[in-house]
Amino acid sequence: MTGTPPTEQADLPQDLVGVGIGPFNLSLAALAHGVPGGLAACFYDQRPVFRWHPGLLIEGATLQVPFLADLVTLADPASPWTFLNHLRSRDRLFPFYFAERFHIQRAEYDAYCRWVADSLPGVHFGHQVDAVRWNAERGLFEVDFTQLDADGEAEALGRTYTRNVALGVGTEPYVPEPLRPLADAPSAPVIHSADYLDHRDRLLAAEHVTVIGSGQSGAEVFLDLLRARPSGAEKLHWLARTEAFAPMEYSKLGLEHFTPDYTHYFHGLPEQTRGDLVPRQWQLHKGIDADTIAAIHDELYRRSLHGGWPDAVLTPGVTVRTAGRVAGTKVELHLEHTQQGTRSRLTTDAVVLATGYRERPLGSLLAGLDPYMRTDSAGRHLVDAEFRLQLDPAVTGSVYVQNAGRHTHGVGAPDLGLAAWRSASILNTLTGKEPYPLPRRTAFTTFGLDRREAPGIPRQAPALTPLETEV
């Protein structure tokens, strides 16, 4: 839904204002709409419409979570905003039933989220939030925004008062330092995978293309380029820092790292332990889907059936030391193999950086809250177990954060499968009630000897005796 918020919002405070409308805040908006008794809530996003990673909606690419990980189902299966109800509204429920798909295509998830965004009240696109401040006299947050026209130009200024704020500004593409000068130059053939589809025709026309990055995006881009280029003249390189093009951890017990149980456990660990743990868990969320790995190998194998090997080089364990422009339109990459200790140069016509994303900095948006903010030893925002920024007690409202707490809540912070549960947790805390009863236990694994329960949930298993806790 787009348009200007009602003028009376300037005088009547909201219970909740959401900043950013990605899947996580859209989940919060959908569940807030179903809170019994109603909840005054509105959500702002500067984009003109909802779009979810449009540059990576490659044909056939699927989500890496089941369709049950939609915006609401794992908190409220009876919600009108479920993926199944979306299919029903489009007369596609029976085709989906016979398709027997547990993992849906990314484009279909994007269409589902857009259906929710277009239908929900209180969802306002074309509204850029400029600042969030605490008004001590009113005991409310001030949210200043700029209403944008169809061309993204400023049209009007506005302010909303609210008791609580939910930040869902998402992440932004990350470009490694050696490649930033090239990526920032408009004419350079170096693009981030987030913009892949916008540049696909140009990449297919390039004589030689290099893909950098061993995650799912890199694999999908490499596979798409491979399928579209002629056999024997593929002229592709795929480079990665990791020691292997490794599959993502997808065993059933491994997936329990994406449960509320593990989130509570991780949050209770010491700061230093959390910081050491996250990088070691990269294969839980940065590996490649096994089906995609199989599809790449199948395509390479098919191209070798009549003798000869495809002109495609796949090399893990490689870092890009520096990069520069040569011959006007080409890029030269200076490479180092970490295990061999060897160095080499690679000249290529185009580079796709599948180098991931980083959380967007909140500094400018929350500058007005700096005097009230609590941070850890690394200067990062402290986030409590209920997903609230830790603020000075003088601030009686709450600022909730979505997908901005991997350092406090672990690898599940950006996972779509925890979206509905986190949104329900936020709404339960915000209302001081329990509009969405949450499960008492979500994993067969018991993480840690001292089992930490979710706030307000009684222990499900007897505590270990002192003898049992000895190591």
Same domain? 218 vs 157: no
Same domain? 166 vs 221: no
Distances (CA, A) of 156 to 45, 117, 126: 15, 22, 11
Same domain? 193 vs 330: yes
C-alpha–C-alpha distance, residues 426 and 15, integer Å:
12
Could you tell me the maximum CA-CA distance found in the chain, to the nearest angstrom?
A: 78
Check whether 142 has a pLDDT greater than 60. Answer: yes
Number of Cβ within 10 Å of residue 78's Cβ equals 9
- Do 11 and 53 meet the contact criterion of CB atoms below 8 Å apart? no
Summarize the confidence of residues 390-394 as an average pLDDT.
96
C-alpha–C-alpha distance, residues 423 and 432, integer Å:
14
Q: How far is CA 352 from the centre of its chain?
A: 20
pLDDT reported for residue 471: 34
pLDDT reported for residue 452: 59
Q: Which pLDDT band, with edges at 50, 70 and 90, does 285 fall under? A: confident
Same domain? 114 vs 39: yes
Same domain? 17 vs 134: yes
Same domain? 226 vs 295: yes
Lowest mean pLDDT among 129-143, 327-341, 386-400, 449-463: 449-463
Closest among 137, 132, 136 to 160, alpha carbons compared: 132
Around 35, how many Cα atoms within 13 Å sit in the side-chain half-sphere?
25
Same domain? 259 vs 353: no
Q: Is residue 96 part of a domain?
A: yes
State the residue for tokens 């990576």: 56
State the residue for tokens 């948006």: 365
pTM of structure: 0.92
Same domain? 233 vs 364: no
Check whether 272 has a pLDDT greater than 70. Answer: yes
Check whether 168 has a pLDDT greater than 90. Answer: yes
CA 252-168-148 angle, to 5 degrees, is 140
pLDDT reported for residue 363: 83
Same domain? 194 vs 330: yes
- Do 428 and 35 meet the contact criterion of CB atoms below 8 Å apart? no
Q: Is residue 200 part of a domain?
A: yes
Same domain? 183 vs 325: yes
Burial of 278 (0-12, 13-18, 19+ CB in 10 A): middle
Q: Which pLDDT band, with edges at 50, 70 and 90, does 327 fall under? A: confident
> How does the average pLDDT of the chain come out, rounded?
91
Summarize the confidence of residues 117-142 as an average pLDDT.
97
Lowest mean pLDDT among 5-14, 31-40, 130-139: 5-14
- CATH of residue 12's domain is 3.50.50.60
pLDDT reported for residue 451: 63
pLDDT reported for residue 400: 98
* Boundary residue ending a domain (342, 357, 372): 357
C-alpha–C-alpha distance, residues 125 and 50, integer Å:
8
Which has more confidence, 356 or 465? 356
Check whether 416 has a pLDDT greater than 80. Answer: yes
Number of Cβ within 10 Å of residue 417's Cβ equals 18
Number of Cβ within 10 Å of residue 322's Cβ equals 14
C-alpha–C-alpha distance, residues 384 and 291, integer Å:
37
pLDDT reported for residue 62: 94
Structure confidence by residue, pLDDT tens digits, 252-268: 999 999 999 999 999 99
Q: Count the domains in the chain.
A: 3
Q: What share of the chain is helix, strand, coil (3-state, %, to 5)?
A: 30, 25, 45
C-alpha–C-alpha distance, residues 231 and 307, integer Å:
11
Percentage of the chain lying above the pLDDT 90 cut: 82
What long-range pairs does 227-235 form, CB within 8 A, spacing at least 24?
A: 227/299, 228/204, 229/204, 231/303, 231/310, 232/303, 232/308, 232/310, 232/311, 233/311, 234/303, 234/310, 234/311, 234/312, 235/207, 235/208, 235/209, 235/311
Q: Is residue 438 part of a domain?
A: no
Q: Is residue 439 part of a domain?
A: no
Summarize the confidence of residues 73-92 as an average pLDDT.
98
C-alpha–C-alpha distance, residues 121 and 414, integer Å:
25
Q: Is residue 181 part of a domain?
A: yes
Summarize the confidence of residues 174-194 as an average pLDDT.
84
Same domain? 279 vs 293: no
Q: Is residue 164 part of a domain?
A: yes
Closest among 256, 353, 292 to 62, alpha carbons compared: 292
- DSSP state letter for 433: S
Which has more confidence, 317 or 286? 317
Check whether 104 has a pLDDT greater than 70. Answer: yes
Q: Is residue 147 part of a domain?
A: yes
* Boundary residue ending a domain (357, 382, 397): 357
* Boundary residue ending a domain (357, 379, 397): 357
pLDDT reported for residue 458: 44
Structure confidence by residue, pLDDT tens digits, 17-76: 999 999 999 999 999 999 999 999 999 999 999 999 999 999 999 999 999 999 999 999
Q: Which pLDDT band, with edges at 50, 70 and 90, does 84 fall under? A: very high
- Do 423 and 31 meet the contact criterion of CB atoms below 8 Å apart? yes
Q: Is residue 82 part of a domain?
A: yes
C-alpha–C-alpha distance, residues 414 and 370, integer Å:
25
Summarize the confidence of residues 427-445 as an average pLDDT.
96
**Domain, as residue range, for 423:** 7-170+360-431
Same domain? 278 vs 330: no
pLDDT reported for residue 133: 97
Q: Which pLDDT band, with edges at 50, 70 and 90, does 464 fall under? A: very low
C-alpha–C-alpha distance, residues 439 and 75, integer Å:
9
Check whether 402 has a pLDDT greater than 90. Answer: yes
- Region of 38 please: left (phi>0), alpha (psi -120 to 50) or beta: left
The residues, ordered by sequence, that sit 6+ positions from 99 with a Cβ below 8 Å of its Cβ are none
Q: Which pLDDT band, with edges at 50, 70 and 90, does 397 fall under? A: very high
The residues, ordered by sequence, that sit 6+ positions from 256 with a Cβ below 8 Å of its Cβ are 262, 442, 443, 444, 445
Structure confidence by residue, pLDDT tens digits, 190-199: 999 999 999 9
